[in-house]
A and B are shown apart, each in its own frame.
Chain A
Amino acid sequence: MGITIRNISKSYKNVKALQDISFNVKKGELFGLIGPDGAGKTTLFRVLTTLLFADQGSATVAEFDVVKDYKSIRNNVGYMPGRFSLYQDLTIEENLEFFATIFGTTIEENYDLIKDIYIQIEPFKNRRAGKLSGGMKQKLALCCALIHKPKVLFLDEPTTGVDPVSRKEFWEMLKRLQLKGITILVSTPYMDEAALCDRIALIQNGKILEIDTPKEIVKHYPKQIYNVKANNMYRLINSLKAYEHNHSVYPFGEYVHYTDSRTDFNTEDLKTYLETKNLSNIYIDKTVATIEDTFMELAK
């Protein structure tokens, strides 16, 4: 088993950061923890990386207990905290060398593991980390977290604030690492990244909303979603929100995702209603739920 979490709870003063969290991550799995800021993702990461004690519950990482065997865990996991936390005044190479040394290894020893990623930033190896672009910083941080060949990799929001190109590359790298047998627990606020995980847990306000594969999770969506479009987005949203039968109205890219509270919903009724609101070019059609729809429905 990669990670087991049993009934973990953790509070700060009067904020319940984690409430009775339980789940398992299988060995070699790429597991996503999906939720917005303040959902408790970072707290859970810190409990698992032995940085914080949980108030209740137990957890193991790579079969080590997070309280009793914290030293073993610290030898066997790689951790990439939420913000960029490398030494800005050291060069790429010096950062990597430093982390290799404190884990008692060398860059050469585990070079094959980081090679794919490192060759992309190697041309700049004498540049200080503070002067790198977001995407490059992120690659360097990943190299540093991997340099001691960890069994389990914890990545706390590695793609926040990173552009879509770098994000895509980053996920491709994670997929390759997974093939090398590393268990990966990754958190992200970007719902579209969830589809790239083997399994995901949706988390909000310290509670797990749902755990499943991305494919299964969207099947749990209870309603038929309709894409709705018209000539004026703002008036469309307001009109839909004012519609007495609406169940949910969310702007979704170029459309509005609309669900109706009635079982015998007829799109023509809605079209007629919208026309009375002086909207034209109305388009209504069925669509399938995404993870984001599911999340919003669960979090409602």
Chain B
Amino acid sequence: MKRFIGFIKKEFYHIFRDRRSLFILFGMPIAQILLFGFAITNEINNVDIAILDHTKDTTTKEIINKIAASEYFSIKQIIEKESDIEAIFKKGKVKAVLNFEKDFSKHLIKENKATIQIITDATDPNTANTITNFVSAILQTYQKELNKNITITYQIVPASRMVYNPELKSVYMFVPGVMTIILMLVSAMMTSISITREKELGTMEILLVSPLKPIQVIVGKVFPYIFLSIINAIVIVVSSIFIFKMPVQGSLFLLAIESILFIISALALGILISTISATQQTAMMISLMGLMLPVILLSGFIFPISSMPLPLQMISNIIPAKWFIIITKGIMLKGVGIQFIWKETLILIGMTVFFMALSVKKYKIRLE
């Protein structure tokens, strides 16, 4: 036991003396959260638009006011004729122009059908799409208020969003994904690098020619990173609660347990990587290509799994991150308990045990 504690002490020396890595370790989660929260987002905020109103009566004014009052849009300009539209886009001043048809109110009241043309700058197709959706949503709300007897037959905004993310905040969607990435990165990449570093330095030779048991070396290497990963997970959850006011619906305790489970599976993967790579560089490349890309692309973090081709959907099943994202989304956004995610949890446990066993078996007590 004393040997083991001595080993862990040494690992912590390494971690705390490598200022740069330490900064990355703790700076990264914050940076990622902010990045996904503010920059890479498909929600819109104070988008500049222009209005072309051919009707100019109370109804159109009311609608314009509603739009102006929303935090999503700010009306930059009122234009008078169709020919101005192109000019204003060319100047790049606005992202969209709302064109109210002639006799808008008349059509609306009599035929329950009036047209607003939403012209968007599609050089940024995501934003254009979102603007269209948001304007439509505002119009529907207005329509509902206007005529309560009429049923709205179509839904513009995707149902899933409205249900679990009624505020349309995509940062809520990203938090589980970011957490998954960070935990994967810290646990798998850092462990694999720290083991291969010993190989590269030649200290692994000395450790092998010592009475330390393989399991002591592995656990000793892994332990500090469990600790760091847990801290990271806490940092992510706390910052999303405080910076983005994200409500965590489910049990924090359950979230913690599931996170530790995922961390351990990632650590096992890290050890596995270290057994097949001879240098820190290879370990890093394998971690990035073999772990990060699948996590980003195939886990359902950014691209919904249901819209992937079938072969990719099947591959996504063997990625632990996919299951962890389902679990965390469940706990954080839907507030579900273990009874709804026991299946995913079991899969994750199975994977963890498998990777752990494999990495202990693969860990060499000799060179070669």
Contacts and interface: CB of A to CB of B under 8 A. Distances in A.
Interface in A34-70: 46, 49-53, 70
A205 to B, nearest CB: 21
A81 interface: yes
A237 interface: no
Interface in B1-27: 2-3, 5-7, 9-10, 13-14, 17-18
A120 interface: no
The B interface is mostly helix, strand or loop, or mixed, namely helix
Interface stretch (B65-73, B203-211, B347-355): B203-211
Given A90-B10, A94-B13, A102-B7, A85 B210 contact: no
Nearest to A94: B13
Given A87-B10, A90-B13, A94-B10, A51 B3 contact: no
A89 B201 contact: no
A234 B17 CA distance: 53
Given A83-B202, A86-B203, A89-B17, A101 B6 contact: yes
Interface string A69-91: 01100110101011111111110
B213 to A, nearest CB: 9
A90 B201 CA distance: 13
A124 interface: no
A171 interface: no
Interface in A243-268: none
A241 B17 CA distance: 58
Contacts of A77: 209
Nearest to B213: A71
| Residue among B7, B210, B212, B367 having the largest count of chain A Cβ atoms under 10 Å | B210
Contact of B366 (A52, A97, A98, A144): A52
Sorting the interface of chain B by its residue count into under 10, 10 to 19, 20 to 34 or 35 or more gives 20 to 34
Contact of A85 (B7, B10, B201): B201
Interface in A74-126: 74-75, 77, 79, 81-90, 94, 97-99, 101-104
Interface string B251-271: 000000000000000000000
Given A81-B206, A85-B203, A102-B207, A50 B6 contact: no
A101 B211 contact: no
B145 interface: no
Interface in B283-337: none
Nearest to A70: B365
Contacts of A103: 3, 210-211
Nearest to A73: B209
Given A51-B366, A51-B367, A71 B211 contact: yes
Contact of A79 (B5, B205, B211): B205
B13 A97 contact: no
Given A89-B17, A90-B13, A94-B10, A102 B212 contact: yes
Contacts of A52: 366-368
11 contacts: A46-B205, A84-B202, A86-B203, A87-B13, A90-B13, A98-B7, A98-B9, A101-B6, A101-B7, A103-B211, A104-B3
Interface of A: 46, 49-53, 70-71, 74-75, 77, 79, 81-90, 94, 97-99, 101-104, 144
Interface of B: 2-3, 5-7, 9-10, 13-14, 17-18, 201-203, 205-212, 365-368
Given A85-B202, A98-B6, A103-B3, 10 more contacts: A46-B205, A50-B366, A51-B209, A52-B368, A53-B366, A77-B209, A86-B203, A88-B201, A99-B206, A102-B7
